[in-house]
Amino acid sequence: MDQDRRAASGYLLSLAAFALWGLFPIYFKAVGSVSPLEVLAHRILWSVPVCAFFLTWQKGWPALRAALAHARVLAALGLTSGLIAANWLIFIYAVMSGQVLAASLGYFLSPLMSLALGMIFLGERPGRWQVAALALAGLGGLNLVLFLGALPWISLSLALSFSIYGLLRKTVAVEAVGGLLVETALLAPLALAWLLWLGRQGQLAFVSQGPEITLLLLSAGLLTSLPLIWFTAGARRIPLYGVGLCQYVTPSLHFLLAVVLYREPFTTVHLITFALVWAGLALYLAAGSPWLRRKRA
């Protein structure tokens, strides 16, 4: 495959991954009759065999076994498994409770939160434009707090959990699919125990709510793993700034679904907040663009 075709396929795979992630609210609305914790348990449980299949297909078992020979790697994946489970649960709750707009804001804030964590924990020194981007996002969050009278906990929790997850995974030399397999495998006993408890209480939606809900819950593992496969394949073929641009497809689709399809309230306060965050993202992307780096050089 020549370089142009490789890059084109990389962008298509990346866009497909972020688009599917962006359409996740439709799936979680479809299983809205199921409790968020049960949906989370199915997502965890069915991801294990799907990830195992893809890892076998990629011939990634030797590399995963070599990585897990180090206790530090397993400990780190233990931490990240908790973070990703919390992130998934908060997102599922946000969608099912009619707060997709808050979830969208969270994922718009995520890269800027990662910038702040890099400054605090990795000693990274961003440029003045990146600091300005962080300040604009902070003003957007402050605007919500002042005018709504409460912390936007869904947005902040999603951004913080995903950013810390990314920070920890950055330090662990494990491929995406193998890492997700270990994370979900560590959580699977808890997920299975919860489902069995729900079954004993007569509260299990799986099977009892009909074939449509059952099939949707069974597909949770594939829907979790497939975009990750596409993302991993795409990220290897395009520059990092290309991946960064593509990632905003996800919260943009969340935003459109919230405002256009689900008719969630979008007030002037929300408009000002999103405008500040979008301006911050524009500065963040411009500061890291190849054109600006060439100009500085």
Integer CA distances (angstroms), 202 to 196, 205, 291, in order: 10, 9, 60
Tokens of 34: 């199921």
Q: How many other CB atoms sit within 10 Å of the CB of residue 203?
A: 11
**What does the domain layout of the chain look like in residue ranges?**
3-296
d(CA 185, CA 81): 9
pLDDT (tens place) for every residue of the chain, 297 residues total = 577 788 888 889 889 999 999 999 999 999 999 999 999 999 999 999 999 999 999 899 999 999 998 889 999 999 999 999 999 999 999 999 999 999 999 998 888 888 788 778 777 776 787 788 888 888 888 888 888 777 889 999 999 998 888 888 877 888 889 999 999 999 999 999 999 999 999 999 999 999 999 999 999 999 999 998 888 888 778 776 677 778 888 999 999 999 999 999 998 988 998 999 888 888 877 776 555 555 555
Burial of 245 (0-12, 13-18, 19+ CB in 10 A): middle
d(CA 48, CA 44): 7
What pTM was computed for the model? 0.89
Q: How many other CB atoms sit within 10 Å of the CB of residue 131?
A: 16
92 and 40 in contact (C-beta within 8 Å)? yes
- Find tokens 């990240």 and name the residue: 80
Nearest Cα residue to 122 out of 183, 174, 163: 163
265 and 42 in contact (C-beta within 8 Å)? no
21 and 226 in contact (C-beta within 8 Å)? no
